[in-house]
Amino acid sequence: MAKTEQETFRPYAYLPPATIWGCSFSSFSSQDSELIQSYTKEVEALKETVYDILLRKSTGGLIDNIEFINLLHCLGVSYHFENEIENQLHHIFIALQEQLDDDKYDLYAVALVFRILRQHGYKISCDVFKKFQDSDGEFSKINISDVKGLLSLYEASFLSVHGEYILDKALAFTRKHLETLADQSSPHLAKHIRNCLLWPFHQTMERLKALQYISFYEEDESRNETLLKFAKLDYNRLQLLYREELSLLSRWWNDMNLVEKLPYMRDRIVECYIWALGSIFEPQFAASRLLISKYVQMTTAVDDTYDAYGTLDELQRFTAAFERFCFCYLP
């Protein structure tokens, strides 16, 4: 018997299963809020002490100064002192850029200055590394057992721009020798080297890098206990703030109930939040993180409608509806 109605063909695509998180982030208790307040008070008290250390470093040697700035970056607390750090780096840039060819600045110092200044937008030439090359352009003048110097150059090489072949060579050179040194070092140092090889600072979420470095710094015999405590408290405080944001986001998503209305859609609200967090982690940008997360999840819903559900006719009408939409009527 002939069919009276043509069957609708839908291009169902295989998508990963629904969210693995369940209701993990839906609740946020009053005790959590009180803990945030407690952490904040402790952080603010220690912040003054760390700020005083930063000021003292600025009156000492330039390398000591930039080392401390780098330490604040690695521990994830430099955002507390942005203005002071920018002022200090400006003076360091003026004082050091003409002096890095001097033999008193070793590989570690040159690479550290280069990386920190580039991270902050200063135009410093990669030619500062030429003094470590021979006439054939090889890094034969570098001590391949100098872990500190190799790690510094390795991290610096990720801030290259197109055409800076010396930094491309530096990356290959340092990676090769660091992989060897990781097998020959103490467990503490070996773990740090492998973490750097897997997650270089410039290509890793700042919060993840801070967590790794806090663990490494905790075992450093030269650690500053006040700074370590400050970094730990601030990390825990931000973790709670992020959980609070995730609870707000999860409740919004559950209220939308799109998972039931659009069963073909990927439920990735937590992953969307992590994406936003990787872009901007500072606590004052909570509203931006929430908006980005919502936008990315709704964009995912639209994308899945095109890829995994709609027919050609439906999608043409869906597209036309979007094109007719006028943003001027939004509040």
Q: Residue 236's pLDDT is what?
A: 96
Residue boundaries of the structural domains of the chain: 10-42+233-318, 60-223
- The CATH classification number of 10-42+233-318 equals 1.10.600.10
Chain-centroid distance, C-alpha 201: 8
Looking at per-residue pLDDT, the higher value among 30 and 151 belongs to: 151
Please state the φ and ψ torsions of residue 133, each to the nearest 5 degrees: -105, 155
- pLDDT confidence bin for 219, thresholds 50/70/90: very high
Helical (H) or strand (E) element with 243: helix 225-256
Alpha-carbon distance 213 to 75, whole Å? 6
Q: In the predicted model, what is the mean pLDDT of the chain?
A: 90
Looking at per-residue pLDDT, the higher value among 153 and 331 belongs to: 153
Cβ–Cβ under 8 Å, residues 153 and 170: yes
Q: What is the pTM of this model?
A: 0.88
Q: Residue 234's pLDDT is what?
A: 98
pLDDT digits (tens, 9 = 90+) for 234-261: 999 999 999 999 999 999 998 998 888 8
pLDDT digits (tens, 9 = 90+) for 113-150: 999 999 999 999 999 999 999 988 899 889 999 999 99
- Which DSSP string do the residues of 117-167 spell out, in sequence order? HHHTT----GGGGGGGS-TTS--TTS-TT-HHHHHHHHHHHTT--TT-HHH
Q: Residue 214's pLDDT is what?
A: 97
Helix (DSSP H) and strand (DSSP E) numbers for the chain? 13, 0
Q: Residue 5's pLDDT is what?
A: 40
- pLDDT confidence bin for 330, thresholds 50/70/90: low
Q: Residue 309's pLDDT is what?
A: 86
Q: Residue 129's pLDDT is what?
A: 94
Lowest mean pLDDT among 9-18, 45-54, 79-88, 301-310: 9-18
- pLDDT confidence bin for 64, thresholds 50/70/90: very high
Q: Residue 288's pLDDT is what?
A: 97
pLDDT digits (tens, 9 = 90+) for 196-205: 999 999 999 9
Architecture of the 60-223 domain = Alpha/alpha barrel (1.50)
Other Cβ atoms within 10 Å of 129 Cβ, number: 23
Task: Give me the mean pLDDT over the 181-188 stretch.
Answer: 92
Instruction: Write the single-letter amino acid at 115.
Output: R
Q: Residue 303's pLDDT is what?
A: 92
- pLDDT confidence bin for 17, thresholds 50/70/90: low
Lowest mean pLDDT among 254-263, 298-307, 319-328: 319-328
Q: Residue 15's pLDDT is what?
A: 65
Angle at 314 between CA 311 and CA 320, to 5 degrees: 135
Alpha-carbon distance 15 to 310, whole Å? 15
User: Is pLDDT at 4 greater than 50 in this prediction?
Assistant: no
- pLDDT confidence bin for 182, thresholds 50/70/90: very high
Burial string for 136-151 (b: 16+ CB within 10 Å, else e) reads eeebeebebebbebbb
Helical (H) or strand (E) element with 230: helix 225-256
